[in-house]
Amino acid sequence: MAQKAMDRVDYVEFYVGSAKQWAYYHKFGLGFNIVGYSGPETGIRDRVSYLMEQGRVKVMVTNSLYPDSEISNHVRLHGDGVKDIAIRVNNLDDALNDLKERKVVKFEKPVDVKTDSGVVHRSRALTYGETVHSLIDYGEFESKLPPNFEPVEFVGTERSGVTRFDHIVGNVEDKKMDRWVDYYVDGMGFEPLISFDDKDISTEFSALRSKVVHYNNRKIVFPINEPAPGKKKSQIQEYLDYYHMPGVQHIALHTDNIVETVSKMKREGIQFQSAPDSYYEEMAKRVGKIDEDIATLKALDILVDRDDDGYLLQIFTKPTGDRPTFFYEIIQRKGAKSFGKGNFKALFQSIEKDQARRGNL
Ligand code: FE2
């Protein structure tokens, strides 16, 4: 079979109000290493970026140094949020030819960025809201750092153990989900994976619909959510009201040991959604035998769900910034390939409690 044009998510870039503070959160809270810095000292005059890394997960945070810029405008409208889900491509010409033939996705003219170590070819494709996909062909480029980044001296912090991106979720407006699923499938060669309707994902109050697309045997997985009408406001609608546009709702990071990962993050003050005690009373019946001690999971508020292939453990942070928009998920898959449908109810009840406290339910 011919090689796929795209490979995997290379990094995610946030536009934020203070890159230094976001770097601190990722380093000490989430256990990332800060590996690179870019700013006036490295020849970039208008912005400051930090690159963080853990396992194969790379996160970049960027802030503008000037009030009138794409970055400042993005932060003013959306608050802190994801601008770019950058995708590593095997060959940029092939990837762009594929997009051109499919005639759906708009993308920028490719540019060659020269660095000390070689030339990186890159372009940007547009997606929902003001979110983009940088498409990056590293060619023979061996350096771990993007152009104009300088290495940051390693100061050891305890790693939390996340290993790779598992999935990255977009929230779009009501009745727009199918359009964006088609965008990825028809426009970029993704395949549909699974869908959930509002009967699967609703509580007494609010509901959402979700469809998942994937690329290259699940190397890239993008669920897309839209709000569904319920008795009260959908959490997806609350996101849209505060982000003022479609955007990235959460990034799921995989770990090989969720108990250790979440213990470390909680010690460092990261706040997570909690689960009601009743959730754990029914858990053994629902998921059957698992390796982990249920009392430990309960103490950490870790959720468990089973599908035909195995089970998964997952937990969600509270919003990372000040607006009720972006958050992280930590997930450990033990065979399961699904997304924790059995946990939707417990999770949403927890989110809705906060939504009600904000006066938005
Ligand atoms: Fe998720």
- How far is the centre of ligand 1, averaged over its atoms, from the C-alpha of 123 (Å)? 28
CA of 50 to the centre of ligand 1 (A): 25
Flag the least confident range among 32-36, 219-223, 227-231. 227-231
pLDDT band of residue 124 (cuts 50, 70, 90) is very high
Ligand 1 centroid to Cα of residue 140, in Å, is 34
Cα 66 to ligand 1 centroid, rounded to whole Å: 34
> Strand 220-228 to strand 162-171: parallel, antiparallel, or no bridges (unpaired)?
parallel
Q: Please say if the pLDDT value at position 143 is more than 80.
A: no
**Torsion-angle region of residue 184: left (phi > 0), alpha (psi -120 to 50) or beta?**
alpha
What's the rounded mean pLDDT across residues 230-256?
93
Same domain, 134 and 237: no
CA neighbor of 123 nearest in space, from 188, 175, 58: 188
Tell me how far the alpha carbon of residue 327 lies from the centroid of ligand 1, in angstroms.
Answer: 10
Q: What is the pLDDT of residue 207?
A: 80
The arithmetic mean of pLDDT across residues 340-358, rounded, is 82
Is 281 a member of any domain?
yes
Residue 340 binned pLDDT confidence (cut-offs 50, 70, 90): confident
Same domain, 183 and 216: yes
In which band, very low, low, confident or very high, does the pLDDT at 208 lie, cut at 50, 70 and 90? Answer: confident
Give the confidence band of 166 by pLDDT, cuts at 50, 70, 90.
very high
Distance 64 CA to ligand 1 centre (A): 30
**CA-CA-CA-CA dihedral for 133, 139, 143, 147, to nearest 10:** -50
Domain containing residue 46: CATH number: 3.10.180.10
Distance 202 CA to ligand 1 centre (A): 16
36 and 141 share one domain: yes
Question: What pLDDT digit, counting tens, does each position of 298-329 carry?
Answer: 999 999 999 999 999 999 999 999 999 999 99
Phi, psi angles (nearest 5°) of residue 275:
-115, 145
CA 225 / ligand 1 centre spacing (Å) = 11
Cβ pair 86, 248 in contact under 8 A: no
Q: Are residues 10 and 128 in the same domain?
A: yes
Residue 205 has pLDDT above 70, yes or no: no
Task: Using the mean position of ligand 1's atoms as its centre, give its distance from the Cα of residue 168 in Å.
Answer: 7
- Ligand 1 centroid vs 171 CA: distance in angstroms? 12
Q: Is there a single domain that holds both residue 122 and residue 69? A: yes
**146 domain residue, yes or no:** yes
Question: Locate tokens 């699923």: which residue?
Answer: 181
The pLDDT score that the predictor gives to residue 361 is 81
Same domain as 217, residue 128: no
Evaluate whether residue 294 is within a structural domain: yes
Whether pLDDT at 37 is above 70 = yes
Q: What is the pLDDT of residues 92-106, one digit of tens each?
A: 999 999 999 999 999
Residue 278 is predicted with a pLDDT of 82
Q: Determine what percent of the chain is predicted with pLDDT higher than 90.
A: 72
The mean pLDDT value for 4-24 works out to: 95
- pLDDT value for 142: 67
Distance 38 CA to ligand 1 centre (A): 31
Domain's final residue, options 151, 172, 204 = 151
Q: Are residues 132 and 223 in the same domain?
A: no
Instruction: Grade residue 347 by pLDDT with cuts at 50, 70 and 90.
Output: confident
Which of 145-149, 199-203, 343-347: highest mean pLDDT? 145-149
CA 192 to centroid of ligand 1, rounded, Å? 16
Cα 176 to middle of ligand 1, angstroms: 19
User: Does 27 fall in a domain?
Assistant: yes
Task: Evaluate whether residue 1 is within a structural domain.
Answer: no
Q: How far is the CA of 125 from the centre of ligand 1 (A)?
A: 23
In a domain, 157, yes or no: no
Same domain, 119 and 257: no
The rounded Å distance from CA 266 to ligand 1 centre is 19
pTM: 0.94
Q: What is the mean pLDDT of the chain?
A: 91
Q: What is the DSSP string of 86-114?
A: EEEES-HHHHHHHHHHHT---BPPPEEEE
Q: 59 and 24 in one domain?
A: yes
The last residue of one of the domains, among 125, 151, 177, is 151
Looking at the DSSP bridge assignments, the partners of residue 210 are 196, 225
Same domain, 269 and 314: yes
Whether residues 214 and 115 share a domain: the answer is no
pLDDT greater than 60 at residue 1: no
Picking from 112, 130, 151, the residue at the C-terminal end of a domain is 151
- What pLDDT is recorded for position 201? 67
Ligand 1 center to 344 CA (angstroms) = 10
Please state whether 134 falls in left (phi above 0), alpha (psi between -120 and 50) or beta: beta
For the chain, the domain total comes to 2
Cα gap 93→256, rounded to integer Å:
36
Who's near 109: CB < 8 A, 6+ residues apart? 123
| Residue 88: domain span | 6-151
Q: How far is the CA of 170 from the centre of ligand 1 (A)?
A: 10
User: Is the pLDDT confidence value at 206 over 80?
Assistant: no
Distance between Cα 269 and ligand 1 center (Å): 21
**Residue 169 falls within a domain, yes or no?**
yes
Residues 283-296 have a mean pLDDT of 91
| 145 CA → ligand 1 middle, Å | 28
Give tens-digit pLDDT for 260-278: 999 999 999 999 999 888 8
Rounded distance from Cα 329 to ligand 1 centre (Å): 6
Q: How confident is the model at residue 3 (pLDDT cuts 50, 70, 90)?
A: confident
Do residues 145 and 170 both lie within one domain?
no
Q: Is residue 156 part of a domain?
A: no
The pLDDT value recorded for residue 276 is 83
Residue 282 pLDDT exceeds 90: no
